[in-house]
Amino acid sequence: MTDIIELLPDHVANQIAAGEVVQRPASVVKELLENAIDAGADAITLVIKDAGKTLVQVIDNGKGMTVTDARLCFERHATSKIKSADDLFNLHTKGFRGEALASIAAIAHVELKTRTEAAEVGTAITIEGSEVVSQEVVVTPKGTTISVKNLFYNIPARRNFLKSNTVETRHIIDEFHRVALAHPQVAFIMLNNGADVFNLAASNLRQRIVNIFGTKTNEKLVPVEEETEILKVSGFVLKPEFAKKSRGEQFFFVNHRFIKSSYLHHAVKSAFEGLLKEGTNPGYFLLLEVDTHSIDINIHPTKTEIKFDDEHAIYAMLRATVKHSLGQFSIAPVLDFNKDTGFDTPYEYSKKSAVAPTIEVDREFNPFKTESKQSNISFPFKREKQPAWESLYVGLKSENFEDTIANVEMESELATGSLFEQEEAEVGQVTFQLQNKYIICPIKSGMMVIHQHRAHERVLYEELLKNITMQEAVSQQLLFPLQLQFSKPEIEILLKIEEQLTQTGFVFSEIKEDSMEINGIPVSVLESQIERILQQLITDIRDEVPEAGFSQNDLLAKSMAKSMAVKTGTALDSEAREHLVNQLFACKEPSISPANRAIIMTLGATDFDKKFN
């Protein structure tokens, strides 16, 4: 029998390893940014083209590499971070397994330029599909520049599985956020297709959060700070009123490494118990520092999951720390029976000095004078000589009194006939509301139940879609322009759909990098709803991200209809219910919501007969 087990060639093994390390262009960005951080860089520039499919370039001013290190860094499991297996449990760096550059070089064209501070010239290496094409001496600044071109050029099947440029760019920005937030002391620049996306100067964590997510974020932050023998927690949580339905703006960093942990997320969410609306999630930027021997980082290929030795203690401390911060800054109510707030000095008077009281004396006052200076004072209870009630009859003539009385119409109930003699009401105009959620309409065959939120969503969806495609929307002008703050990525999303928003009735007077000014809004929208509608729209586009054309208009109409539709729990009067029902049955698809969910359910008389049998 012949042998059937064979050793894989190196280039095939590298491509298989690349499947774990490099899943999309964002994976390359993550690995290269972490390598730059490990190299001690304090200024890093990220350049991407075509969402990283054409080019991902990272430029840093770190310590650089020698000629030998530059050649060795592309070999599998070649690393300077660990010497033995024990070092895996005492890690202070990001990349440590020596797989990243080897995997990237196996599926792309890679150019490396590097120079150490001591060297006069640097080294340039070009690799295509794990094969070294050239190696030469070049003049280059101190640090390292790595350019990854034509990702997955030799694995077209993997390239076909990549999403649209908008989706892949969003993933790259997410990875950029995670590294930039974990290292606020490092300056970061990001360029996308030649445009400046981020220019983050070295700062503290609060300023880094504000620079990334917009100036309005500053007022949302609540500081969190605690240090124990086991755990040190620092960072910020967002105030409960800014909680979102989506899971955005949630960042855990353990020893300056971004991680995902549903267990720790539950700890933070339980600290907000009683403060959040149902279905919303708190936002947080929390940095946890623990002993490196008490965690295991290498349990997941992307190193975004960590195993703690004592998870229960971490959970309890994190929950207590967040809860304490919410109480300390008066976000959550705190019971303190020993404190008398009456003795607290108001904040505005805390730095003011005491003012001595002044006494004013009237030196000309003489109580024995016959004429008093206060003679002009009137007393409200002074008795009048003439009875005051007589003034009620001034101008009233007796001869006109009877005529006036005769012209007065007395209110009386309308005379109605017997209950069984009146005509039967039209069935289609009788509606009822059940639990402020459903509209009940009697019909000849039984009863029809309408979901009011989905029905209104369908009505608004078809109206908005018509306005966008036919450009027939009417706008109402605002007396005072509305100023809204957004992050740079959110502004980019809104700029892409600005034309469609204008066709729905929005009027934008000015759009800056992190804010916009709105002068007009659609007629059917309240001014207080605008920010919530735009935030929901941004979230929906991030989740689905359709390309330009009808699909984008469709998503825009769906998102706005979902935000503007009457919510479950809203009481509707009879006129509003009948108007909604009439509008629903004027739609093209009255039975299905824009999200393909049922709007109408019919119960026939036979269904009731079965229940009563």
3-state SS, one letter per residue, for 150-182? CCCCCCHHHHHCCCCHHHHHHHHHHHHHHHHHH
159-213 per-position pLDDT tens digit? 888 888 888 888 899 999 999 999 999 999 999 988 888 899 999 999 999 988 8
553-605 per-position pLDDT tens digit? 777 788 888 888 888 888 888 888 888 888 888 888 888 888 888 899 888 88
Helix axes 311-328, 262-271, angle to 10 degrees: 30
b/e burial code for range 391-429 (CB count within 10 A of at least 16 → b): eeeeeeeeeeeeeeeeeeeeeeeeeeeeeeeeeeeeeee
89 or 439, greater pLDDT:
439
pLDDT exceeds 80 at position 68:
yes
Given CA atoms 48, 51, 56, 58 in this order, what sign does their dihedral have? positive
401-434 per-position pLDDT tens digit? 555 555 655 555 454 444 444 344 444 457 888 8
What structural domains and CATH numbers belong to the chain? 10-200 (3.30.565.10), 212-328 (3.30.230.10), 438-601 (3.30.1370.100)
Q: In terms of DSSP H, where are the helices of 364-412? A: 398-407
Structure confidence at residue 465 (pLDDT): 81
- Tokens for 307, please give them: 């195993």
Structure confidence at residue 411 (pLDDT): 54
Indicate the Cα dihedral angle 546, 548, 550, 554, nearest 10°: 40
- Tokens for 372, please give them: 């008093």
Structure confidence at residue 208 (pLDDT): 92
Please give the Cα distance from 507 to 477 (Å, whole number).
8
- Bridge pairing between strands 507-511 and 515-522: antiparallel
Residue 110 has φ and ψ, to the nearest 5°, of -120, 135
For residue 219, count CB atoms less than 10 angstroms from its CB and return exposed for 0-12, middle for 13-18, buried for 19 or more.
exposed
Q: What share of the chain is helix, strand, coil (3-state, %, to 5)?
A: 40, 20, 40
Structure confidence at residue 191 (pLDDT): 92
Bridge partners (DSSP) listed for residue 114: 123, 144
CA 418 to the chain's CA centroid: 61
Looking up tokens 């008490």 gives: 294
Structure confidence at residue 494 (pLDDT): 85
Q: Are 184 and 202 in contact (CB under 8 A)?
A: yes
pLDDT exceeds 50 at position 375:
no
Given CA atoms 67, 73, 75, 78 in this order, what sign does their dihedral have? positive
Q: Which of 65-69, 178-182, 279-283, 467-471 shows the lowest mean pLDDT across its residues?
A: 467-471
For residue 573, count CB atoms less than 10 angstroms from its CB and return exposed for 0-12, middle for 13-18, buried for 19 or more.
exposed
